[in-house]
Amino acid sequence: MAAVLVAWLSFMAPTKSAADTENGMTLYLNYLPYRLTMESGSQYDLFLSEVFPERNAEVALLAAPLQRAKYLFLENKNSCLFPSALAVFEGDGGTGSLLVSEPVDYLTLRLYTREPTHSDVALDGFAPSRLGVINGAVASRLFGKKLSHYAVVSSEEQLITMMELGRLDAIVGYHPDIALAFEKHGKPDLVFAQNKFINGFRYPLSFICHENETGRHFIGSINETISKMNQSGRLLEILGPHADVAGSLEPARPLTE
């Protein structure tokens, strides 16, 4: 059984080099409040706890905010990053020197509505001031200069509060993250997840490694594990009913059903 070194890497932590894990590699983890915190015991945390006892070498798991984790990964050639997508690196000199594993699941951009709908719903069907959006790069690309007309917030918690107070009619956000946030705060019946991806936004979330011997070995091994967990149904069991692990879509329904 592989020894797993688990550590928390804060935003201001010093950069780790390959020398810091002399007997193995480093797996940098993108900290996600409702999916990967190193202590939740569910979602990606549970997935990682089941995967790494099967690894053949010692691996250091270091979690950090998205941009910090990406920077550390790019600086350390003896490392991998999870969960991420090649599209994240398209502006960093190309992706030819990177390897990507089979997808663990998919991240989509969805419309969450207060009321169920049985037909396609367009963003322009809502008053901009009644449409909640979390500020960030995706929101900026999606709405452009119109972003200032929408109800822009900084967190899922703010969206939940505004929806609960009746200040919003709909939310644009990442799925399954928004769904998991509402469930975590005990408010799953407040919103309905729509089937349609906004602007075709659907990214595979995978392990990304550098193109070298360490990366090739890790990707080959992790692909076998992902495939086995997917085929057995364990992957979907871990990630829950909101997960998109095989391209299946959810109907528009309360998150509790």
Give me the pLDDT at residue 93, please.
Answer: 65
In a domain, 246, yes or no: no
Q: Which residues contact 222 (CB under 8 A, 6 or more apart)?
A: 51, 101, 102, 207
3-state class percentages of the chain: helix first, strand second, coil last, to nearest 5:
40, 25, 35
Would 257 be classed as within a structural domain? no
Q: Could you report the per-residue pLDDT of 142-191, keeping only the tens digit for each?
A: 888 888 899 999 999 999 999 999 999 999 999 999 999 999 999 999 99
* Same domain assignment for residues 154 and 210: no
Residue 131 inside a domain? The answer is yes
DSSP 32: B
- Tell whether 161 and 192 lie within a shared domain: yes
**5 and 60 Cβ atoms separated by less than 8 Å:** yes
Q: Which domain holds residue 126?
A: 108-200
pTM value?
0.83
The stretches in the chain having pLDDT less than 70 are 1-23, 54-57, 92-95, 118-119, 246-257
Considering the domain architecture, whether residues 15 and 87 belong to the same structural domain is answered as yes
Note the pLDDT of residue 11: 34
- Is residue 100 domain-shared with residue 182, that is, in the same domain? no
Q: Residue 225: its pLDDT value, please? A: 94
Q: Coil, strand or helix: which one is 126? A: coil
Q: What is the DSSP code (8-state) at residue 217? A: H
Contact between 170 and 111 under an 8 Å Cβ cutoff? The reply is yes
Q: Coil, strand, or helix at residue 244?
A: coil
